[in-house]
C-alpha cells in the first residue's frame, strides 16, 4: 500500500534530503526536528518505509509504503480481568496530546494517574509521593524531552531515590538501543510508540509482575 503526501512549498534542498528523518534535524526556525523522525520510526515498526523526493516545480512528496494484508487481528480487551488495576502511576511526557490520551486510557483502566512534563518534574513528584501515604507503584517516562530532562536521566535519579522503583520507558524511536534492552538501561519494560490501550495494559501488567516484554509485545 502506498500513501503519498505532497505539498507546493519551497521544497527540500538536495543537501538536506539525506537528513530529513534524523532526530532534531530541522530547517524551520524553532522547529523540534522530531516530526519526520517519529513518522519514519512508526512506519518502520509496521514493516514499511518512507521515501522523500523533491518536486520539479517546487514542493516535496513523501511516499509511505506499508505491507498489505487480508488477515484480521483480534485485539485483547482492556475493560475487565487482568488488564485493569488500581495502582498509582506517574506519567511523564512532553507532548500534551499524549499526556491527555494516556491519562484518560489509564484512568479508564482503574489506575490513579498524575502527569508531569519532563524528568525534573517527574523526580520531584516521585520523591514527594515516596514519603507520603500513597507512593507511586510505577512511572512511565518519555525517553526524549526537547529542552528538558529526558527519561534516561530521570530513571537514573529515581533509582537512586528508590532502588525498587518500577519504571517503563516510552519512545517513538524504534531504533533506540534502550528499547531493545530496557533492563540494561535501568528500565523494567518499554512501551514503543504508537501503541493502543491493549498494548499499554499488557506492558503495565508485565512490568508490575517483573516480566519485561522487551521491544513491543510478544506473540
Considering the chain, what percentage of its residues have pLDDT values greater than 90?
30
Helix axes 151-161, 119-130, angle to 10 degrees: 20
Examine the domain organization and report whether 114 and 180 are in the same domain: yes
Examine the domain organization and report whether 61 and 85 are in the same domain: no
Which of these ranges, 104-118, 132-146, 175-189, has the smallest mean pLDDT? Answer: 175-189
What pLDDT does residue 73 have? 59
Examine the domain organization and report whether 44 and 88 are in the same domain: no
In this predicted structure, the answer to whether residue 40 has a pLDDT above a threshold of 90 is no
> Can you give the residue range of the structural domain that contains 105?
81-208
What pLDDT does residue 214 have? 43
- Strand 138-142, strand 112-116: pairing: unpaired
Span 133-160, average pLDDT: 92
Q: pLDDT category, 90, cuts 50, 70, 90?
A: very high
What CATH number should be reported for the domain holding residue 100?
3.40.50.2300
Cα(130)–Cα(109) distance, integer angstroms: 23
Examine the domain organization and report whether 121 and 188 are in the same domain: yes
Q: Note if the pTM is more than 0.85.
A: no
Count of all residues that appear for the chain in the document: 219
Within 10 angstroms of residue 194's Cβ, the number of other Cβ atoms is 12
Q: What's the structural domain count of the chain?
A: 2
Give yes or no for a contact between 177 and 214, defined as CB atoms under 8 angstroms apart. Answer: no
pLDDT 10s digits, 45-55: 778 888 888 87
pLDDT 10s digits, 155-214: 999 999 999 999 999 987 755 677 778 888 889 988 888 787 888 888 888 888 874 444
Q: What mean pLDDT, rounded, does the chain reach?
A: 82
The reply to whether 165 falls in a domain is yes
In this predicted structure, the answer to whether residue 76 has a pLDDT above a threshold of 80 is no
Give yes or no for a contact between 54 and 11, defined as CB atoms under 8 angstroms apart. Answer: yes
Which of these ranges, 78-82, 128-132, 208-212, has the smallest mean pLDDT? Answer: 78-82
Examine the domain organization and report whether 52 and 140 are in the same domain: no
In this predicted structure, the answer to whether residue 77 has a pLDDT above a threshold of 70 is no
The reply to whether 74 falls in a domain is no
What pLDDT does residue 174 have? 57
What pLDDT does residue 41 have? 77
What CATH number should be reported for the domain holding residue 15?
3.30.565.10
In this predicted structure, the answer to whether residue 91 has a pLDDT above a threshold of 70 is yes
Examine the domain organization and report whether 197 and 95 are in the same domain: yes
What's the order of all strands across the beta sheet hosting 60-65? Answer: 2-6, 60-65, 49-54
Q: pLDDT category, 56, cuts 50, 70, 90?
A: low
Amino acid at each position: 500500500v502506498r500513501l503519498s503526501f505532497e505539498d507546493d512549498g519551497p521544497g527540500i534542498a538536495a543537501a538536506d534530503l539525506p537528513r530529513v528523518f534524523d532526530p532534531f534535524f530541522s530547517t524551520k526556525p524553532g522547529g523540534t526536528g522530531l516530526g519526520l523522525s517519529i513518522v519514519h520510526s512508526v512506519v518502520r515498526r509496521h514493516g514499511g518505509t518512507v521515501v522523500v523526493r523533491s518536486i520539479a516545480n517546487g514542493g516535496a512528496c513523501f511516499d509511505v509504503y506499508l505491507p498489505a494484508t487480508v488477515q484480521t487481528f483480534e485485539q485483547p480487551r482492556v475493560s475487565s480481568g487482568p488488564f485493569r488495576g488500581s495502582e498509582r502511576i506517574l506519567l511523564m511526557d512532553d507532548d500534551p496530546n499524549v499526556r491527555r490520551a494516556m491519562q484518560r486510557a489509564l484512568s479508564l483502566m482503574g489506575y490513579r494517574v498524575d502527569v508531569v512534563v519532563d524528568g525534573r518534574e517527574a523526580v520531584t513528584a516521585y520523591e514527594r509521593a515516596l514519603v507520603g501515604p500513597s507512593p507511586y507503584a510505577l512511572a512511565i517516562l518519555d525517553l526524549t524531552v526537547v529542552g528538558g530532562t529526558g527519561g534516561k536521566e530521570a530513571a537514573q535519579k529515581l533509582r537512586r531515590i528508590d532502588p525498587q522503583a518500577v519504571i517503563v520507558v516510552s519512545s517513538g524511536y524504534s531504533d533506540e538501543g534502550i528499547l531493545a534492552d530496557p533492563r540494561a538501561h535501568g528500565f523494567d519494560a518499554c512501551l514503543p510508540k504508537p501503541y493502543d490501550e491493549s498494548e499499554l495494559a499488557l506492558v503495565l501488567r508485565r512490568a508490575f509482575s517483573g516480566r519485561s516484554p522487551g521491544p513491543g509485545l510478544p506473540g
